[in-house]
């Protein structure tokens, strides 16, 4: 996918696995100990906390996940090939005139879908199956680059 600087050199398989494992660890086991004595009664109280406490653990978790997602984005399973994305963006860009916003929205949805997939996994076998899918996508992209 060529959105901003998202398509870079192909990362190694071991780096991909490491990034995926880090992603899962941050998603499920992030350290919130600095706010373990705070109770949010509703979304409004959470929003108030987020607005008044910069660099809070929620923001740090989000930034850590985003950093990893930016690295692994080209290897995430989704239904859009680079060519399909370019075609969709070209078609929608004629209507709205904002190619960058369209691509960013598509990328955001791919990331959110991946988060939901990871959160829905129930077993280690399912997790390893997802890792293998990402590895196959990585291998395919590496082979395409090698043949061109």
Domain range enclosing 69: 13-147
Whether 3 maps to a domain, the answer reads no
Whether 97 maps to a domain, the answer reads yes
Whether 7 maps to a domain, the answer reads no
Whether 62 maps to a domain, the answer reads yes
Whether 18 maps to a domain, the answer reads yes
How confident is the model at residue 8, as a pLDDT? Answer: 54
Taking every pair of Cα atoms in the chain, the longest distance, rounded to a whole number of angstroms, is 56
**Structural contact between residues 35 and 56, judged by C-beta atoms closer than 8 angstroms:** yes
Whether 8 maps to a domain, the answer reads no
Whether 126 maps to a domain, the answer reads yes
Return d(Cα 9, Cα 106) in angstroms, integer: 21
Q: What is the pLDDT tens value at each position of the chain, 148 positions in all?
A: 444 444 458 999 999 999 999 999 999 999 998 888 888 899 999 999 999 999 999 999 999 999 999 999 999 998 766 666 677 767 766 666 677 777 888 889 899 999 999 999 999 999 999 999 999 999 998 998 878 7
Total of domains in the chain: 1
How confident is the model at residue 1, as a pLDDT? Answer: 41
How confident is the model at residue 6, as a pLDDT? Answer: 41
Whether 78 maps to a domain, the answer reads yes
Give pTM, 2 decimals.
0.81
How confident is the model at residue 145, as a pLDDT? Answer: 82
């Amino acid at each position: 996918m060529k959105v901003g600087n998202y398509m870079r050199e192909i990362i190694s398989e071991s780096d991909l696995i490491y990034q995926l494992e880090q992603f899962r660890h941050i998603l499920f086991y992030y350290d919130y100990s600095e706010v373990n004595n705070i109770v949010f009664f509703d979304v409004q109280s959470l929003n108030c906390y987020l607005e008044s406490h910069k660099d809070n653990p929620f923001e740090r978790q989000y930034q850590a996940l985003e950093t990893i997602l930016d690295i692994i984005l080209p290897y995430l399973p989704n239904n859009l090939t680079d060519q399909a994305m370019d075609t969709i963006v070209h078609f929608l860009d004629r209507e709205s005139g904002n190619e960058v916003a369209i691509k960013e929205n598509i990328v955001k949805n791919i990331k959110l879908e991946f988060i939901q997939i990871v959160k829905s996994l129930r077993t280690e076998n399912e997790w390893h199956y997802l890792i293998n899918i990402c590895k196959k996508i990585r291998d395919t992209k590496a082979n395409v680059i090698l043949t061109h």
